[in-house]
């Protein structure tokens, strides 16, 4: 199991706790995509991806994050990120994706930012 995905709700925000690696193939990226699609289908508009336990993302995994963001946006929902490990943070810098994603280091702040 490369990637674990658990969802919980706090104050109307769905927090998706991810753990492991989000990489090419081995269903890990598919899992994230499916989770976000399901949440959107259920009408959720505020999605917070908690990457605190994600040790590694490759370019394919970054693509999944971007796709989740775009799909959500197109449905009037928002996807934000929480708790990036240093390696993941570096990749957002390298790829300039930090200009796309709103990133928090604190769950309470992140939840407030949706209101």
Partner 1 sequence: MGECRRLELRLDSVISTVDAAELCAKGLAREGGYGEEQVDRLGMAVREAAANAVTHGNAYSAEKSVHFSVEMNDGRLVVKVRDEGEGFDPGEVADPTSVENLLKASGRGLLMMRALVDEVDVRNASPSGTEVVLVLHGPATEEEGQ
**Where does this chain bind partner 1 (CB under 8 A)?**
1-4, 19-21, 23-26, 55-56, 58-60, 62-64, 66-67, 69-70, 87, 91, 94-97, 99-100
Nearer to partner 1, 17 or 111 (CB): 17
The position carrying tokens 């963001």 is 69
CB of 115 to partner 1, least distance (A): 25
Query: CB–CB of 65/49 below 8 Å?
Result: yes
* Of residues 7 and 71, the one with the C-beta less far from partner 1: 71
Strand order in the sheet with 13-22: 3-10, 13-22, 46-57, 78-82, 103-104
């Amino acid at each position: 199991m490369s990637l674990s995905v658990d969802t919980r709700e706090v104050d109307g925000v769905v927090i998706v706790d991810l753990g492991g690696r989000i990489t090419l193939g081995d269903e890990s990226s598919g899992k994230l995509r499916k989770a976000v699609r399901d949440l959107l289908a259920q009408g959720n508009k505020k999605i917070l991806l908690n990457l605190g336990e994600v040790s590694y993302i490759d370019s394919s995994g970054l693509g999944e994050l971007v796709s989740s963001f775009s799909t959500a946006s197109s449905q009037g929902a928002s996807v934000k990120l929480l708790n990036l490990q240093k390696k993941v943070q570096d990749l957002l810098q390298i790829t300039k994706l930090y200009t796309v994603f709103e990133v928090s280091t604190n769950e309470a702040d992140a939840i407030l930012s949706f209101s």
